[in-house]
Structure 1
Amino acid sequence: MLPVSEATRRRIKVSLSKRVIFAGQGYNTKNFFHRDSVAVFPELKLSFNRIKKSGNSSICLYFAKLCGYGDFDTPEDLKDRLLRPGLMSLPQLVELRSYHSLVVVRDPFERALSAFLDKVGGGVVPRFAGYAGYGQANPDGFVHFLRQVAENREDLNRHFWPQTRLMYKPVKSFSLVARLENLPEELPPFIRKISGIQVDGESFKSPHPVERRQKNKITAAKEKLNMFYGPAAVDLVRRIYRDDFAQLGYSNDLTG
């Protein structure tokens, strides 16, 4: 018998997941099997849908600590340790059906500005140099960036996708859809429910210390909203992230 290639194994795994294991559950298998989309914590019986620029690295670091994975110097180091669906066997994927699921979301106004400041406006990440507003961390640069995002929605880095487009299943299907700004209140009872572990909500009030050590990683976008948002930027974010406002329950009024 000829050996089965890794690519063939993956295709079989994706096909069985879509047609059998998670059939009828509305899974987006492209997101589910994307390397950076889902982190699985068997110790917590938890599947965590990672949403870029919504605190996902910090949350993974906190969960890794709860699971006893040890310490990591950078969020990238942790990524190599995380279990994800593409690395799981078919029996493990079947077991995943009984796991709790979590996604953490963020106010679209804050998230859009944070993504711009982190990846584009600072002008320090060369692979984003092709975006309008690169190295122009001011309101004009932000508007130029948003206009490009609005005009090229299908050809964007995932940091700039709507949050709902990054989810591997429908919003209402998650065990918990937590808001980044409410983590200290929402995560401790959820963790206690799924694992029996008591955690202090205070730790979720700020990014993980490993994240805070990363230069330019913390953008403090919430404190800069009034500085960067004029009528044009507000209108563009409303249009680009229309589905996020509708499905995640955030107000599309910047002052709301």
Structure 2
Amino acid sequence: MPSLNRRIAICPLRKYVWVRVTKAANSTVSATLWAAMGQAGDPIDNSKRSSDKVSRKSSFIRPSALTKKQVAELSNNYKKIIFVRNPYTRVLSAYLDKGRISNDLARKFSNYDGEAGTRAGFEGFCRYLANGGVYEDPHWYPQNRLCPFPSEELDFVGKMENLNSDLNRLLDWLGLPAQDLVRAGPKPTGASGRIAEFYSEESEQIIKSLYSDDFRMFGYSENLQDA
């Protein structure tokens, strides 16, 4: 299981805990939150303040920096936040990002280099996930299992599909000023517009089965056409 210490960001000043889900606009959410806190005049370290293209994920506190008493306080006194993504597009985005010919990971799920970045290559990737690979990397690890809190304890669930509106709704809820998105992280893969290009009936069934709890917990349709 990926280290939860790296997946949890804590802001004691605003008293919120953010569960960082990879391949769900993680870097952009971080950079935008940091920019809004700076605009609000929060006493952040100016030397770490985000630029328009730099994520501030490392500027939040991790659970390992807290005492046991402080960790226990998170459940009772902190707002719990998560941003998630449709499993169909999240998994495809992870493949398009990590399944390049030049990436050593691609060798685990491609029969030969010529399959990388193709429908056949994506099918191979989905079979790799079904054979246990789903738990080998946080970029495609089930989102619900990256979250240490029960769904009923989450105070705010934002979705990448509504990133701009959901993120500004979050800022308002946290008492922070409205903020334009601060884009950060790797170049977008365009996965949401490439569903038909990469998904076959086999890969659809594999993802639907492997990520059934994500679909259910975060209210996503299992119908591929809705992705």
What TM-score results when the alignment is normalised by the length of structure 2?
A: 0.83
Letter matched to residue 209 of structure 1? R
Equivalent in the alignment of 2:199: 229
Equivalent in the alignment of 1:80: 58
Letter matched to residue 93 of structure 1? V
Q: Provide the rounded CA distance (Å) in 1 between the counterparts of 2:216 and 2:92.
A: 19
Equivalent in the alignment of 1:105: 84
1:180 and 2:154 are equivalent in the alignment: no
How many angstroms does 1:130 deviate by? 4.0
Which segments of 5 or more consecutive residues in structure 1 lack a partner in the other structure?
A: 1-29
Equivalent in the alignment of 2:184: 210
Letter matched to residue 146 of structure 2? L
Q: Provide the rounded CA distance (Å) in 1 between the counterparts of 2:22 and 2:103.
A: 16
Matches within 5 A, 1:101-250: 101-120=80-99, 122-126=100-104, 128-133=105-110, 136-153=116-133, 155-194=135-174, 196-200=175-179, 203-204=180-181, 208-211=182-185, 214=186, 217-250=187-220
**Deviation digits for residues 111-151 of structure 1 (CA, Å, limit 9, x no counterpart):** 0100111112x23333x244213850010000000001011
The change in CA–CA distance for 1:238 and 1:85 in structure 2 (over 3 A counts) is same
Letter matched to residue 155 of structure 2? S
Which segments of 5 or more consecutive residues in structure 2 lack a partner in the other structure?
A: 39-47
SS at match of 2:109: coil
SS at match of 2:10: strand
Equivalent pair of 2:22/2:139 in contact (CA under 8 Å): yes
How many angstroms does 1:81 deviate by? 2.7
Equivalent in the alignment of 1:54: 24
Equivalent pair of 2:134/2:140 in contact (CA under 8 Å): no
Equivalent pair of 2:9/2:60 in contact (CA under 8 Å): yes
SS at match of 2:4: coil
Q: Provide the rounded CA distance (Å) in 2 between the counterparts of 1:193 and 1:178.
A: 12
Equivalent pair of 1:171/1:177 in contact (CA under 8 Å): no
SS at match of 1:92: helix
Letter matched to residue 101 of structure 1? K
Which of the numbers 16, 33, 36 marks the counterpart of 2:6? 36
**Deviation digits for residues 96-117 of structure 1 (CA, Å, limit 9, x no counterpart):** 3311110011011100100111
The change in CA–CA distance for 1:142 and 1:182 in structure 2 (over 3 A counts) is same
The change in CA–CA distance for 1:154 and 1:118 in structure 2 (over 3 A counts) is closer
- Percentage identity across paired residues of the two chains: 27
Equivalent pair of 1:178/1:186 in contact (CA under 8 Å): yes
Q: Provide the rounded CA distance (Å) in 1 between the counterparts of 2:219 and 2:192.
A: 18
How many angstroms does 1:90 deviate by? 3.8
Q: Larger radius of gyration, structure 1 or 2?
A: 1
Equivalent pair of 1:44/1:67 in contact (CA under 8 Å): no
**Deviation digits for residues 152-202 of structure 1 (CA, Å, limit 9, x no counterpart):** 1575112121111111111221101111111222232332222x22214xx
Equivalent in the alignment of 1:64: 34
Q: Provide the rounded CA distance (Å) in 1 between the counterparts of 2:131 and 2:167.
A: 36
Q: Provide the rounded CA distance (Å) in 1 between the counterparts of 2:12 and 2:146.
A: 22
Q: Provide the rounded CA distance (Å) in 2 between the counterparts of 1:66 and 1:42.
A: 15
